Chains A and B, each alone.
Chain A
Amino acid sequence: MISKIGFVVNPIAGMGGKVGLKGTDGVLKKAIKLGAKPIATQKAVETVKKFISINSKKDKIKWFTCKGEMGSNVLKKAGIKNFEIVYSPKYNSTSKLDTKNASEKFIEEKVDLILFCGGDGTARDIFEIVKTRIPILGIPSGVKMHSGVFGISTSASAKTLNEFVNNNLTIGDAEIMDLNEEKYRKGEWKIKLFGIAKGIVEPTYIQVGKSTFETLSDNEIKDELYEHILDEIEKNNDCLFLFGSGGTIDYIANKIGVKNSLLGIDAIYNKKVIGTDLNEQGILNLLRKYLKVKLLLSPIGAQGFILGRGNLQLSPEIIKIIGIDNIIVVSTPAKLASIPAIRVDMGDEELDRMFAEKEFIMVVIGYRLSRVVKIQTLT
């Protein structure tokens, strides 16, 4: 089978970082004035070269890309001659509009995967167009890379791409994060969950014989997680459940039959939604009414954060009231394998100490199946 890869580079991604601008959205001229140099091209060339060196099915790959620095130059530099240019940017200095236009073209060409080089902003631009129609894989090159679509290095992205074209990987959820760059430059750290894209993940293997394995799809695993949580809810019928954000929890909520918000915090009592997309105050109001509370969270792919990224409504005060022992963390084994640790970034000394003392957290990875994972606090 031929793999069709859409390839796009955001040539200016990562330029703000070295000159302390924390992103290039709207401030490119300032960045260049401060001496910023393009790094995305080099990162993209590195990745494609590495991919070529490990891939054995070159004739089974068809590349679709953009003209110039947004793609074709990179592929040429990496040694790829056969590709189709599906989009040409109007001006030399490209913008997010070009990324979006290219994404439209990739949809028309029905590519199997979009490989991009950039940061969270680039991921967001592509996601806005393709939504969950095409899986996305990122080559890290931006200033901010909090989304779950990135490889941890150029070489990791190349390896993932290789496994994907060899049909060894499956499609799973990947969070798209972004922060308000204006606020971030002013020192206000506000990362929000922007959406849930499709990324590529290792399937879960279940040993069925001495060396034979069945692979379980992402949804089969999520069905197990749903059954586990349903048991918890039925066992604790006097308990308020706060559902965090993300694809896994969204799936569980839909199965339970409640209408929740994909990106926000929802409150569920007796299998009914009693609050949706709650802010900090809304949650605090509920905590006054309900004495028994459990908080359901799922880590962000590749990053591992359960608190402090994309869910700032869950303030330190709220977590202290709920109690860290009442947090239930669920994750597909594939996602868990992609993260170094369960991470929290609350900026609160007392909570950091509590998490540090706990050291490990049990993560539910199947029906009545869990594994122990290290907790890391960022301070």
Chain B
Amino acid sequence: MNRNSKSFLKEEYDELVKKNFDWKLRILESGSTPHSIVDGKKVIMLCSNNYLSLSNHPKLIKAAIDAAKQYGAGSGSVRAIAGTMKLHIEVEKRLAKFKRTESSLIYQTGFAANAGLIPQLVGKEDIIISDELNHGSIIDGVRLTKAERAVYKHRDMGELEKVLIEADKKSRRILIITDGVFSMDGDIAPMDKIVKLASEFGAMTYVDDAHGEGVIGEDGRGIGAHFNIEGKIDVEMGTFSKAYGVVGGLIAGSQNLTNFAYNKSRTWLLSGSHPPAVAGAQLAAIDVLETEPEHVKKLWDNTNYFKKELISMGFDTGESETPITPVIVGESSKAKELSNKLFTEGIFALPIVFPMVARDKARIRTMMNAGLTKKDLDFTLEKFEKLGKQLDII
């Protein structure tokens, strides 16, 4: 027999390397701090999702240590069998209270939430309507369903309405899915309008607010609070791994939603639950958000200053409304060159190129951090200005 079932491993990897599509992993030799050590070099970190620098907050660290000391390193089981600890329940209660929803449920990761829940919400006779720029994990969740799918132009409510009119004629259930904060452009889905349209057509709404949790809305309560529609979005999905500074996925909504979700999501049912240290830190993160509003405020002060200065230098920052500020430079090669030069100058910010974004919209994606000082920002801006001129961008 001539069968070779293993050669593809090397062949496909080599092909990725050849096309320069492989991931070259950067090694973090410090914690994920505003000033990190990456591949041996001290840099200002502009590509972590640790927006509020909570991963280094003493209260979170202490809570993780205390929980580990009290309950051990692991949880021993999946949630459904013997892995639901009092701590997990406490996180869910506190989170629902913070997000002003009836209930909440913690998943192992944000990806597990999308991939586990979305396929359970719709069946063959249903339709999922989604924004064309939705994030990969939503797309995978959607691909696991048998439902029909329709796509509308990014944030275009006119197109969404047209799709709803068509869907209304033939579908049983309608599910509208969108990112809350879009991770490439830093713009925000018009959730108030989406909820309004959804109610007109009896549709369900699902928002992936991974980049909005802890960032937008009052004290970082997320997109529901941002638009004053708390409790009106059917599924608010988010993550503990970004602004909350820990790890884990979450959904918030009605009790009916969470009862359904934990009984039906295979990712939730079949993965081990979070170790006590994770749950302890999650709880402390909510605590910090509730009692120390200065972190969110500092994040926004930094963001507004940084964005304003970039624009006044002549950089194109697109449609960003959040701490994700793209610096659009045009051709992919230019974005890569700028990123490399920034790294040499001590700034870590990754390029985003085609096909993640349009061919002529390659960019450096910067993510602001509440732990950066004005001096740090001025240093960063000075380098952007120098390199921007050198590379003929401004």
Q: Which residues of A contact B (CB under 8 A)?
A: 163, 205, 207-213, 359-360, 362, 365-366, 368-372
**CB distance A207 to B139 under 8 Å?**
yes
**CB < 8 Å neighbour of A372 from B136, B139, B159:** B159
Residues of A within 8 A of B166 (CB): 362, 372
Cα separation A371 to B136 with both chains bound (whole Å): 18
Q: Which residues of A contact B147 (CB under 8 A)?
A: 368
Category for how many chain B residues contact A: 20 to 34
Tell me the residues in window 343-359 of chain B with beta carbons closer than 8 Å to chain A beta carbons: 352, 355-356, 359
| A371 and B356 form a contact (CB under 8 A) | no
Contact A372 B355 (CB under 8 A): no
Instruction: Point out the residue from A205, A210, A372 that lies within 8 Å of B152, measured CB to CB.
Output: A372
The residue of chain B having its C-beta at the shortest distance from the C-beta of A206 within the complex is B139
**Contact partners of B352 in chain A: CB under 8 A:** 211
Cβ-defined contact, B151 with A369, below 8 A: yes
Contact B162 A360, beta carbon cutoff 8 Å: yes
Selected A-B contacts with CB under 8 Å, 28 pairs: A163-B359, A205-B355, A207-B139, A208-B136, A211-B356, A212-B21, A213-B355, A359-B162, A360-B159, A360-B162, A362-B163, A362-B166, A365-B151, A366-B149, A368-B147, A368-B149, A369-B148, A369-B149, A369-B150, A370-B148, A370-B149, A370-B150, A371-B132, A371-B151, A372-B150, A372-B151, A372-B152, A372-B163
Given A205-B355, A371-B132: A362 and B139 interface contact (C-beta under 8 Å): no
| Complex: A211 Cα to B184 Cα, angstroms | 11
Tell whether, in the assembled complex, residue A371 and residue B162 are in contact, meaning their CB atoms are under 8 Å apart.
no
Inter-chain CA distance A359–B165, complex, in Å, is 12
Q: Which residues of chain A are within 8 angstroms of B136 by Cβ–Cβ distance?
A: 207-210
A210 proximity list for chain B (CB < 8 A)? 136
* A228, chain B: closest CB distance, angstroms: 9
Instruction: Note all chain B residues with C-beta closer than 8 A to A163.
Output: 359
Q: A371-B132, A372-B151, A372-B162 are in contact. List 11 more A-B contacts (CB 8 A).
A: A163-B359, A213-B21, A213-B355, A360-B159, A362-B166, A368-B147, A368-B149, A369-B150, A369-B151, A370-B150, A372-B153
Measured CB to CB, the closest approach of chain B to A171, in angstroms, equals 18
Docked Cα-Cα span, A369 to B145, in Å, equals: 12
CB–CB B148/A368 < 8 A: yes
B12-36 contacts to A (CB < 8 Å) = 16, 21, 23
Minimum CB–CB distance for A324 against chain B, Å: 13
Interface string of B93-136 (1 = CB under 8 A from A): 00000000000000000000000000000000000000010001
Considering the chains assembled together, what is the distance between the CA atoms of A211 and B351 in angstroms? Answer: 11
Q: Name B139's closest neighbour in chain A (CB-CB).
A: A207
Query: Complex: how many Å from CA A222 to CA B300?
Result: 47
Complex CA gap A51/B151 in Å reads 34
A365 to B149, CA, bound (A): 10
